[in-house]
Structure 1
Amino acid sequence: MAELMAVLLFLSICLALMGGFPVAFTLGGMSLLFAGLGVLTGTFDGGYLSALPNRLFGIMNNQTLLAVPLFVFMGVMLEKSRVAEDLLESMSRLFGGLRGGLAISVCVVGALLAASTGIVGATVVTMGLLALPTMLRRGYDPAIATGTLAATGTLGQIIPPSIILVLLGDVMSSAYQQAQLKLGIFSPKTVSVGDLFVGALLPGLLLVALYILYLIGVALLQPKKLPALPQAELGAIEWGRLARALLPPLLLIAAVLGSILAGYATPTEAAAVGALGALLLALGKGQLNLTRLREVANSTTAISAMVFMILIGASLFSLVFRGFGGEALIEDVFAQLPGGVLGAFFVVMLVIFLLGFILDFIEITFVVVPIVGPVLLAMGLDPVWLGVMIALNLQTSFLTPPFGFSLFYLRGVTPRSVPTRVMYKGVLPFIIIQLLMLVIAYQWPALITWLPAQLYG
């Protein structure tokens, strides 16, 4: 009976979230409702909730999660500082004379924005507003144009410093500690956000390279779909302007990621450096004033409050789910799956992929990963590899029709002359590339684990 209540709790939360109810209050409210029903029916021990105050204090006192508002501040400030506009204009002048050059410019700028802002929705909308009209006006195939914009916009999911990697780092660290307790291992080793940042770096760069290779291939085989821009429109390349547009974001990325990779700063400290750097960059561009600072502060507060409220609700959910014996149920199900640990891994990845159609990455990170993470890690999977694979998987589901979140963002700024089915057609090659990236990372796990091992031992 208790395990049935655990299943009903999970299904009820998923249905409520699909119905559009607020995530944080759905998690907390539904969990309290089922806990009350469990106490009345004798299927739940109310003592499990005694750990909730310590959980909440731990969330508020978590130094790792302090990176969330700092990275959000950095991303929002850069979004409002016309960094993307200057980058795209400069890159277009550099590559626009080549067939497919504008699409390649979008990929490069998308990767740079991912490494500096990490906010998927803002990147997709900004790039769509800036690049899509030019691409369509210059004869680019609408499917390839929209597919490129949607795909490059989601790079913020995997290229550090990514908000999802910060959240996954905290969740995977907790899951790893639980897995060690299950195995009777008492090791001081943990999974840090820095590990995930470093582990995601090579797959993220390889994914960008695969995107560009695909665009080059289309430009060679079907040149009419990706025409070159007229030289008269491009004009001469202004190297000074290119340097002014490119160097500040690159220096900011080097300061944030470089300080983490070199071991000079923790991700939280590097996030503070990034926030300060974004302020200075906005000041240097003449885009910093009291009104803009107020807008950025309001956006940062709203996004950060949402994240932490969801985390509080998810903590309550995990306590109640565990109190109903849900974790033991998951272990039993995984143990009976064919294929052992690999079978369990593939099932989890499929579930996360499907949930990515209807739930946001924050919800999946805080609801699903704490349930399945400890079980998979206790089966022997590497925590850094698993965390990056989950991030890659979520990025893929964000592109997949009909519910891909990136498609929703881009649809809002795409002209009515481009049907939704054309957008769906355009993202399919990029979905295949991302699935290929998952296969590559599965076949060669060292692509994820090698660099963290070299840097951190």
Structure 2
Amino acid sequence: MDLRSSLDILMFVTVCAVLMTGFPVAFTLAGVALAFGTLGIIFGVFDFGFMAALPQRIYGNMTNDVLIAVPLFVFMGTMLERSKVAEDLLENMGRLFGRLRGGLGYSVSIVGALLAASTGIVGATVVTMSLLALPTMLRRGYDPSLATGSIAAAGTLGQIIPPSIVLVLLGDTLANSYQRAQLEQGIFTPETLSVGDLFAGALLPGLLLVGLYILYQIVRAALDPKSSPAMPDDDSISTAELYRRTLRALIPPVALIVAVMGSILGGIATPTEAAALGAIGATLLAGERTGGMKRAVRAAALALIALLILTSFMDLRTARSEISGSDQIGIWIAYILCAIVAIGLAAALWRLWRGGVVAEVAQSTARITSMVFVILIGAALFSLVFRGLGGDDTVHEFLNSMPGGTTGAIITVMAIMFLLGFFLDFIEIIFVVVPIVAPILLMMGVDPVWLGVMMALNLQTSFLTPPFGFALFYLRGVAPESVTTMQIYRGAVPFVGLQLVAIAIVAIFPSIATWLPRALFATM
């Protein structure tokens, strides 16, 4: 092995080791890259000309339309977290299903899926679900291991069920890798991969996971009734009133999910535009729940839905040389609807501002978004130096030497990502590892949507696996002292097994991930 190859391997090992010490990610990536770039120049194995591409890389990331969806989805999730959506859903669905053995567990899985599709922020979902559901489940006699495992597993659904921040970042990174792989193969009119493709591909696997979670809880309740007892009937609320309350709590978040995901999957909006729609919808929903000026807020919500319907049936573009009479009428109706939305949004923001919610949400959004983009800049520098030291060739040779060909290479990459997921956050893995391995796997003929879904499932599994799973740390931080760490770990193990079953199913039947995007977009 020559000096150049030794440096790139040592560089990757060093960055992983420093990251595990807890040193800030962006500074670690940039600092290690500069150190090894300097060593490469000293030993004459690195061309400093690679660094000239850094400003263009940074400018390209900052002006990337897809990445604009990141702060918008973060804003949407944070705003919904403050709007008490989860609290209402858990309370009412817990009463609805609680009469069944394991009913609270079913409620946790269903609400976790809805929150995942609404917020896409795993840490917030785990903490929220733990604070709201865990005390109730323990009070009703649930086995602590089953209760904590159900909550942790439901909380991690935000990594796979769209719209997810993981899928947005992974989709953008895979799109660049896919284009690069095709260019290196001599394909100068490359096919494209969009975040919408990945959203569509992850939808069925995400629902598969929810089904497996609920199936496990049904079997567990049947085999061990004491682990998940039924709740006693609440005579103070009639069945009709219970259904009414549940529907009232369920309809707003479901309508928002349908609006955001439907606009993407229906081809009405790009993921970035849908993220903006979600941010507005979340603000209206939070504003409606704060009290005051509810009519204006509800009118704005209805106007927003009407705009989506109008957009799906009419061409509302104004920058056209010829506009038919019917389209002109539609455009004027759209102007009126936009005015109604603006008035309702202003009313909602005013109420939220007075309650201090806007400031909290803005600070949280700015903090998370800044972290993502600073890491992205550090990762860009790391990638340039790694490639300059011949890291691409080293990884290519390593994966090609794996027994089993393409299958062996995929298993190796998945195993590495799974282990790194114990110590590194998903953002670090997406920005550091995926750009290195994805082009090579894609050149081997791997479907990009399937690869993205498998990586997302893999990261979700490592996020849940004891003893290092981040979701378990979040849960441990808010769980009562009566719940031991070993109980949390034991509760997570069956759900990790279900995750592995889901990965195996998607691996054996790739069409679970690839069918929907092909049917909707016909681009792959």
TM-score tier after normalising by the smaller chain length? over 0.9
Distance in 1 (alpha carbons) for counterparts of 2:501 and 2:235? 37
2:196 counterpart of 1:131: no
Could you tell me which amino acid in structure 2 is paired with residue 248 of structure 1? Answer: P
Residue-by-residue CA offset, 1:134-183 (whole Å, 9 max, x unaligned)? 10011000000000000000000000000000000110011101111221
**Any residues of structure 2 matched to 1:298-447 within 5 Å, and which?**
298-447=363-512
2:26 counterpart of 1:24: yes
Aligned to 1:143: 145
- Which structure: larger Rg? 2
Q: Deviation at 1:187?
A: 2.4
Q: Deviation at 1:321?
A: 0.1
Distance in 1 (alpha carbons) for counterparts of 2:17 and 2:365? 29
Pick from 265, 272, 275 the counterpart of residue 268 of structure 1. Answer: 272
Secondary structure of the residue that 1:427 maps to in structure 2? helix
Distance in 2 (alpha carbons) for counterparts of 1:441 and 1:435? 10
Distance in 2 (alpha carbons) for counterparts of 1:348 and 1:71? 29
8 Å contact kept, 2:182–2:190? no
Secondary structure of the residue that 2:187 maps to in structure 1? coil
Distance in 2 (alpha carbons) for counterparts of 1:233 and 1:60? 57
Aligned to 2:255: 251
Q: Deviation at 1:425?
A: 0.6
Distance in 2 (alpha carbons) for counterparts of 1:340 and 1:103? 42
Aligned length: 457
Residue-by-residue CA offset, 1:258-281 (whole Å, 9 max, x unaligned)? 000100000000000000000000
Distance in 1 (alpha carbons) for counterparts of 2:237 and 2:32? 60
**Any residues of structure 2 matched to 1:169-188 within 5 Å, and which?**
169-188=171-190
Q: Deviation at 1:419?
A: 1.0
Aligned to 2:228: 226
Distance in 2 (alpha carbons) for counterparts of 1:209 and 1:58? 40
What's the TM-score, normalizing by structure 1?
0.99
Query: Structure 1: which 5+ residue stretches go unaligned?
Result: none
Q: Deviation at 1:349?
A: 0.2
Distance in 1 (alpha carbons) for counterparts of 2:398 and 2:205? 31
Residue-by-residue CA offset, 1:75-102 (whole Å, 9 max, x unaligned)? 0000011000001011011101100001
Q: Deviation at 1:393?
A: 0.3
8 Å contact kept, 1:96–1:234? no
Residue-by-residue CA offset, 1:48-95 (whole Å, 9 max, x unaligned)? 111111101100110000000000000000001100000101101110
* 178-187 vs 86-95, greater mean Cα deviation: 178-187
Could you tell me which amino acid in structure 2 is paired with residue 165 of structure 1? Answer: L
Residue-by-residue CA offset, 1:381-402 (whole Å, 9 max, x unaligned)? 0001000100000000011111
What's the TM-score, normalizing by structure 2?
0.86
8 Å contact kept, 2:101–2:229? yes
Aligned to 1:105: 107
Could you tell me which amino acid in structure 1 is paired with residue 12 of structure 2? Answer: F
**Any residues of structure 2 matched to 1:277-292 within 5 Å, and which?**
277-286=281-290, 288-290=351-353, 291-292=356-357
Distance in 2 (alpha carbons) for counterparts of 1:97 and 1:155? 25
Q: Deviation at 1:18?
A: 0.3
Q: Deviation at 1:232?
A: 3.1
Secondary structure of the residue that 2:67 maps to in structure 1? coil
8 Å contact kept, 1:77–1:279? yes
Secondary structure of the residue that 2:478 maps to in structure 1? coil
8 Å contact kept, 2:92–2:245? yes
Secondary structure of the residue that 1:232 maps to in structure 2? coil
Residue-by-residue CA offset, 1:284-328 (whole Å, 9 max, x unaligned)? 111752111010000000000000001111011000000000000
**Any residues of structure 2 matched to 1:47-86 within 5 Å, and which?**
47-86=49-88
Distance in 1 (alpha carbons) for counterparts of 2:497 and 2:31? 39
Could you tell me which amino acid in structure 2 is paired with residue 208 of structure 1? Answer: V
Secondary structure of the residue that 2:464 maps to in structure 1? coil
Distance in 1 (alpha carbons) for counterparts of 2:234 and 2:281? 36
